[in-house]
Structure 1
């Protein structure tokens, strides 16, 4: 199978049924739904439509996508729409990139406690930044945060961590001024690490006391309170990895970064190289190596590839992108408008470009009938002329006579 055409869906379609049968007692309903969605994505099973080019009359068949957030093929459109909304919220300041990770012992117990520990990871990391930024000894301002949860490493191993994008400054306590941080320094990583460790471990202890954590296999003994306290003790003494990357080169670079990270899944189709009856080979990046050896390949048995992909399926309703501080959803628009006013930045007039003589609903209906991709023959607009219902058998390509009609 050519590398450029290999997809995660191909792996699932070829080996998914056998893997599900062999692992029936170890796969969750959420994981089963993800496998099914990816297998059916952009196939005749989901239905589709026929579009005709306005210029050359070429007809194009397009099948519907599954829109599952774990599907490698469905994230580009979602990311594009999300980024369009974020572009209007960009502030004319320097942005910083922080990363909060978990020690391996905690990451191990997160496998069976995803909802509780992932939520705690995002809350405690955000609380850390907000508290330190509000301290007059550091910044003395209310920060704004966009957090993105990732649960994987390059080899699809379980590695929960949070990527955080933070504007370089914040609102003053009374909301009347903008307090900027130093040019290449936001907050002390050492101070952030220590508070983050304390907040997370305190939260973990509360979850255990409330009976919200579950333990299996080698970790079953941790259900006992004394054993869990002993488990936490050494974690209070080690350094927790929090690091800050180089500041972004302007607000536009933030959008470029977010377009790659916000809607990423465990592995993209572009990283797949080949598949045979027993294994899958894909590209990986070793972050411990600098230079040419950083990019290499890895081959996994097909069953292990599927297992690794599915351990990153999030619980239903788990939000992977969250906003805190002055980006919090409650007063988000008002806060951004106020900050732009303080910084002397222009605010966009969303209604300015619209022609009042055009009915908005009519324009929306017209756009809904146009495919996002151009005609493969001439680049013209593809307009939907026929809809195919789900579960319909694949139809043959349109004939010459019909195309000319």
Structure 2
């Protein structure tokens, strides 16, 4: 993909003195400053040389912030994670299930994000686990991968979980049992929605105690909650594509930004109320940063979680045995991720030969890079 014309970092840089005003806490401020400095001289860097003798060019690279909210740091992490999950795939149908919290809980998400999002994870898995354990629906132990997203297209608060659920589970005898219709049907969505709502509200009452009024908790039952379950993926390639699309996605990627004029930000959004039609939304810098900061997760909070037979504890033993019985899907071979290609010749690998701090590269390296540039002109 070609480099983005505009970046979130540009918005943060031109508002660097006002970031504290747009954030709810110091952790959000620290995160935004990290994103602002990403791949700039402020974080130091390294000198790389192409390994191809015919090229041998030097390249100056600045360090990345490695923050999970950064638009520039997710590509490599995403690919590493996806490849690790490919090794765990089974030759069975997979479902895409989405658990969404209603807008009435948005205010609580702002002040108690850790509590609300942890409760969302636990309630969603409890719903899938218990429906799977019920002999009426399946009667087997299931698995799930859950990925937290907190945003809508316009950067408003919209907490929901994207979940991948295999179409079946392990019985007490250790055998695989598919869901109904040979794994092509999961569970009744309306029943899951009611159970999900009742359990979440019960958990909120338990965690919040007297801090939440009975009338507020009761108001959460006025409307149906949304649990969405798509038809199973057509094949393992679709599962992998889904993983890559959602796992390390952030609130607003650089490629969505279309303009940064007059202290405003114009970015592309999909209007799902009108069939997903693409349109351009314009916000002031202050409002864009305020909305972006809403989606900075609490320090140390895990946004991708594995449950049941897909948890790290079980998959070391359970998954290999299931793959023997159910088979492993054949996926296209990919090049290893170990090396960075030289941007000049596209053949050699970049090898770091020196590092430097925020003060910049030593003078002798500066001179060598200048000579290389002059020769190429």
- Normalising by structure 2, we get a TM-score of 0.90
Which of 237, 240, 261 matches 2:225? Answer: 240
For residues 337 and 4 of structure 1, what CA distance do their matches in structure 2 show?
41
Following TM superposition, by how much is the alpha carbon of 1:383 offset from its aligned partner in structure 2, in angstroms? 3.1
For residues 401 and 184 of structure 1, what CA distance do their matches in structure 2 show?
60
Which of 16, 19, 27 matches 1:30? Answer: 27
The residue aligned with 1:313 is: 296
The residue aligned with 1:302 is: 285
- The one-character-per-residue Cα deviations of 1:360-391 (angstroms, maximum 9, x if unpaired) are xxxxxxx97x5x1x223321213335323221
Following TM superposition, by how much is the alpha carbon of 1:259 offset from its aligned partner in structure 2, in angstroms? 0.5
For residues 160 and 385 of structure 1, do their structure 2 counterparts lie closer, same or farther at Cα, with a shift above 3 Å needed? closer
The residue aligned with 1:166 is: 165
SS of match in other structure, 1:399: helix
Following TM superposition, by how much is the alpha carbon of 1:133 offset from its aligned partner in structure 2, in angstroms? 1.1
Following TM superposition, by how much is the alpha carbon of 1:130 offset from its aligned partner in structure 2, in angstroms? 0.6
The residue aligned with 2:355 is: 388
Instruction: Please say if residues 171 and 339 of structure 1, whose CA atoms lie closer than 8 Å, have aligned partners that are also in contact.
Output: no
SS of match in other structure, 2:358: coil
SS of match in other structure, 1:322: strand
- Normalising by structure 1, we get a TM-score of 0.84
Following TM superposition, by how much is the alpha carbon of 1:239 offset from its aligned partner in structure 2, in angstroms? 1.0
Which of 22, 40, 43 matches 1:43? Answer: 40
Q: Where do residues 344-363 of structure 1 align in structure 2 (5 Å cutoff)? A: 344-345=327-328
For residues 76 and 396 of structure 1, do their structure 2 counterparts lie closer, same or farther at Cα, with a shift above 3 Å needed? farther
For residues 91 and 396 of structure 1, what CA distance do their matches in structure 2 show?
55
State the Cα RMSD in Å.
2.4
For residues 99 and 401 of structure 1, what CA distance do their matches in structure 2 show?
53
SS of match in other structure, 2:283: strand
Instruction: Please say if residues 168 and 176 of structure 2, whose CA atoms lie closer than 8 Å, have aligned partners that are also in contact.
Output: no
For residues 236 and 397 of structure 1, what CA distance do their matches in structure 2 show?
69
The residue aligned with 1:355 is: none
SS of match in other structure, 1:236: coil
Following TM superposition, by how much is the alpha carbon of 1:176 offset from its aligned partner in structure 2, in angstroms? 2.9
Instruction: Please say if residues 172 and 179 of structure 1, whose CA atoms lie closer than 8 Å, have aligned partners that are also in contact.
Output: no
For residues 258 and 330 of structure 2, what CA distance do their matches in structure 1 show?
46
For residues 151 and 233 of structure 1, do their structure 2 counterparts lie closer, same or farther at Cα, with a shift above 3 Å needed? same
Count of residues in Structure 1 that have an aligned counterpart in Structure 2:
362
The residue aligned with 1:230 is: 215
Unaligned runs of 5+ in 1: 212-222, 349-366
Following TM superposition, by how much is the alpha carbon of 1:260 offset from its aligned partner in structure 2, in angstroms? 1.1
For residues 97 and 47 of structure 1, do their structure 2 counterparts lie closer, same or farther at Cα, with a shift above 3 Å needed? same
State the 4+ residue runs in structure 1 displaced beyond 6 angstroms. none
